[in-house]
Structure 1
Amino acid sequence: MRIQDIIEGKKEWRAHVARVKALPQDYRIVYKEIQKYLFKVGPVELNDGTGLLSGIIDLFEESAALGKGVLEVTGSDVAAFCDDLIKDSKTYADIYQESVDQEVNKAMKKVTDKT
């Protein structure tokens, strides 16, 4: 990764954070919880920039402009809202499960080859 890419990434992230700070307080609170949840659950595309997170901010900005409350947008189960957003996305948990399965299969093959 080039220095210029790192600098550009930081600029994009700062602009992203500025958009979050401009949201109404209830939207900021829910956005930060969504962000924490997604970072823990780990959809892989979160590392490809801020696409998913920016999309959430777009939705929140539009909804706030229409005078909607944040829970009107997400529903009261914010985790379920997040899960729905990433239902077709590969997560780090998926990658880890695949890795475990491969290791078990290798180990079992070694055991069966020895017998």
Structure 2
Amino acid sequence: MKLWETITGSDLTKEYQAFETRAEVLPADYRAAWEEIKGHLFPYGDFSGRNLMPILDSALELLEETASDGQSIHEVLGGDTKGFCTALAGGEGARSHRDRWREQLNRNVARKLAQLGG
């Protein structure tokens, strides 16, 4: 990976476009599941989203393989797309960026209040 690509994120754009190209050939119900998976995984991304690329690749690969095997999307995800994504992102209780920001904000407010109080 070149430094400029890393700085600008153009490598991520290319990789994401490649994911979308791969997803276009999936059956309609699988494409709908892919959209849901992306929506549920994005909150677990870091600032650049770079940490999600291997997770998205694995999820898409699973969809491609199971679609080619003729399985239904319900057999693959079990009707719980959100739970599936939580497991992919690190299991139950995996912290999203909102959780991390909320904790940081709470720490900062508590510190400021402590400074004001004495």
Q: Is TM more than 0.5 here? A: yes
Q: 92, 96, 108: which one pairs with 1:91?
A: 96
Q: Which amino acid aligns with 1:83?
A: T
Name the SS of the counterpart of 1:44 in structure 2.
coil
What aligned pairs does 1:16-55 form with structure 2 within 5 A after superposition? Answer: 16-39=19-42, 41-44=43-46, 47-48=49-50, 50-55=53-58
Aligned counterparts of 2:111 and 2:11: Cα–Cα separation in 1: 42
Moved more, 6-15 or 64-73: 6-15
CA-based RMSD of the aligned residues comes to: 2.5
Shift of 1:46: 7.1
For the structure 1 residues 11 and 100, does the alpha-carbon distance in structure 2 shift closer, same or farther, using more than 3 Å as the test? Answer: closer
- Counterpart contact for 1:27–1:70, Cα < 8 Å: yes
User: What is the match of residue 14 of structure 1?
Assistant: 17
- Counterpart contact for 1:44–1:90, Cα < 8 Å: no
Report the structure number with the largest CA radius of gyration.
1
Question: Normalization by structure 1: what TM-score?
Answer: 0.79
Name the SS of the counterpart of 1:11 in structure 2.
helix
For the structure 1 residues 3 and 52, does the alpha-carbon distance in structure 2 shift closer, same or farther, using more than 3 Å as the test? Answer: closer
Question: Normalization by structure 2: what TM-score?
Answer: 0.77
Aligned counterparts of 1:102 and 1:84: Cα–Cα separation in 2: 28
Where do 4+ consecutive residues of structure 1 move more than 4 Å? 3-7
Equivalent residues, number: 112
Aligned counterparts of 2:10 and 2:48: Cα–Cα separation in 1: 18
Q: Which amino acid aligns with 1:42?
A: Y
Aligned counterparts of 2:11 and 2:90: Cα–Cα separation in 1: 30
Q: Can you give the 5+ residue segments of structure 1 that lack an aligned partner in the other structure?
A: none
Name the SS of the counterpart of 1:2 in structure 2.
helix
